[in-house]
Amino acid sequence: MKLKDIEQLFHKDLDALFGKDEVSQFFYWCIESFYNLSRLDIALDTNLSITVEEQPIIINALEQLKQEKPIQYILGKTEFYGLPFNVTENTLIPRPETEELVALIIENLQKSKTLKANSKVPINILDIGTGSGCIAITLAKNLPNAKVFALDVSSEALKIAKSNAKLNHVDITFIAQSILEDFNLETKFDIIVSNPPYVRELEKVEIKPNVLNNEPHLALFVEDNNPLIFYKAITEFAEKQLTKNGQLYFEINEYLGVEMKRLVANYAFENIEIIKDMFEKDRMLKAEFIG
């Protein structure tokens, strides 16, 4: 079958759902991933075809796209901060907002007088709720002096995170642990970062079906009556585990910036800042441990 004809099939079945441009993108990601072919290959040879044996994988992908399964889960991979990551239904698909959090940490370290990126002095970093490992691995990749630890309660997520550390050639110490339980680690950290579950049940109505029906609820949702449960546990843990002047970074629920600042201010932290994302939504919190 000609790839051009399959492209037409994608548009016929999916344009109404996703729009023409996104469907083209899906199609080209599929042919690159399944057949190692590019948009240019098809442009240069409009008769380019695949064999009958090669067909089922892309037709199957089309069927899954019709069911609104995210393309990242169909292909089993995505990109974050320019790096490749494996993803499965046990890991959240990394979001652009989280790339902003990583960029903020790297930028602050580059400016910092005490904790310097690129110096020889090691920086210990802990990522809590690592999922695919996107935050931990990207920091390890971009900060040569970082010793990075990553924790998650989900053993399935940790398996994928480990495969991603290997894929990106970085050394991460993984910890299987619930942050909601009381525990200590021997290491003290200069930076603790987390993008924990923060979507309230009441916000489910705002969540698109492709997210709701496919992404792990363990990674997303918190109860309406205790939406900051993870932030409270992590802030208390950070008080025990951060070095003096250590930094705490959170990705936060856009609706709970004020509440988040108030929560962290109850503990031994100063210079608490709420930072907006590219959509002008309250999305990140940075605070310094007084020690």
Ligand X SMILES: C[S@@+](CC[C@H](N)C(=O)[O-])C[C@H]1O[C@@H](n2cnc3c(N)ncnc32)[C@H](O)[C@@H]1O
The residues of the shown chain that bind ligand X, judged by CB under 6 A, are 92, 94, 98, 129-132, 134-135, 152-154, 157, 178-180, 195-197, 218-219
Looking at the Cβ atoms of 131 and 257, the one nearer to ligand X is: 131
Q: Would you state the structure tokens that stand for residue 169, as one six-digit string?
A: 């050639």
Question: With the C-alpha atoms ordered 6, 85, 235, 273, is the resulting torsion angle positive or negative?
Answer: negative
Looking at the Cβ atoms of 70 and 129, the one nearer to ligand X is: 129
Looking at the Cβ atoms of 130 and 247, the one nearer to ligand X is: 130
Size of the chain, expressed as the number of residues it contains: 291
- Tell me the C-alpha distance between 135 and 94, whole Å: 9
Looking at the Cβ atoms of 70 and 94, the one nearer to ligand X is: 94
CB 55 → ligand X: shortest distance, Å? 33
- What letter represents residue 53's amino acid? E
CB 138 → ligand X: shortest distance, Å? 10
Looking at the Cβ atoms of 174 and 269, the one nearer to ligand X is: 174
CB 75 → ligand X: shortest distance, Å? 17
- Tell me the C-alpha distance between 183 and 190, whole Å: 18
What residues form DSSP beta bridges with 189?
242
Pairing of strands 282-289, 242-251: antiparallel
CB 92 → ligand X: shortest distance, Å? 4
Q: What is the CA radius of gyration of the chain?
A: 21
Q: Name the packing angle between helices 257-265 and 229-241 (round to 10°).
A: 30
CB 206 → ligand X: shortest distance, Å? 16
Closest by CA to 238, choosing from 181, 190, 195, 283, is 190
